[in-house]
Amino acid sequence: MSFIESCSSVNNCSRIKCKGKYFCVEELLYKGPFSNVFVVSDRLHRYAMKTEQKVGNLRPVLKIEATVLKEMNVQAVAGFPQIIAAGQTVIYKYIIMQLVGPDLQRLRMSIPEQKFSLATSLRIALQTLDRIHSLHANGWISRDIKANNFCIGYDDIQIIYMLDFGLARRYLQKNGQLIAERKSAALMGTIHYASLRAHNFLDQSRKDDLESWFYMLIEMINGNLPWLKYEPRTQYMLIGEWKQFARESGRCKLLKNCPQEFDEIMKIIDGAR
């Protein structure tokens, strides 16, 4: 039975026992509304541990996240953290996984100009697109593509890892058949990077992940998106209107400083099914 010896809370020096192995909590990396991330170690290696409360959690994510990562690990897909262990205590569920470095959003914001060079942005674009393709090839869509969900490696900074699959959903059945599209769906994901279909409360597909990836890429190059000034919770309709405007006379403003090929990329994504 897995347990945390300090069961009332997870903090520094808490110990987790899983499959006869002890992990010691070293520090809190991230505290979020639905889950927390800690650095843990087994004396030989350091890992990341993500926890969520078993009771009262409005959006449980660990089960779906562990499912996605396990499937990607079984396929030995590059760029997805390895799951080391998973379990639960009286209060918490947790997964222990490969420790990665800082996310792309944090890296970009640490630069004085708060944007990457075009060359760096395009290298990032290729790796992140490859990760999204791998996820899609295994029957999943993310529904939350953004720079925060891509991290550089802890040991090898040349590798970009994709993570945070709490909003992921299967679009393919196990037999390879497409899952029937729903007539309507909740607006899932991060509003600033959500697709037009998401804004219209339509079921998301692979193209919606690509649209979010495209917005992420533009932000890396320009350091901004035209609609970032709007508050996502109260002004999500204005954000959606701006994205529609970007398909019309606002296209040049959105693609400012981007290679001319981006116009064609946008057409391909918009034309996808």
Q: Mind giving me the DSSP string for 81-125?
A: PPEEEEEE-SSEEEEEEE-EEEEHHHHHHTSTTSS--HHHHHHHH
Give the pLDDT confidence of 70-106 residue by residue, as tens digits: 999 999 999 999 999 998 888 889 999 999 999 999 9
Per-residue pLDDT, 10: 66
Q: At what angle do helices 206-222 and 261-271 cross, to 10 degrees?
A: 160
Per-residue pLDDT, 14: 81
Per-residue pLDDT, 128: 99
What phi and psi, each to the nearest 5 degrees, are found at residue 9? -160, 160
Domain boundaries, the chain: 4-98, 101-271
pTM score, whole prediction: 0.92
Positions in the chain whose pLDDT score sits under 70: 1-13
State the distance between the two ends of the chain, measured CA to CA, in whole angstroms: 47
| Residue located via tokens 């020096």 | 13
CB-side neighbour CA atoms (13 Å) of 61: 21
Q: Which fold has domain 101-271?
A: Transferase(Phosphotransferase); domain 1 (1.10.510)
Q: Which fold has domain 4-98?
A: Phosphorylase Kinase; domain 1 (3.30.200)
Q: Which residues are catalytic?
A: 144
Per-residue pLDDT, 11: 64
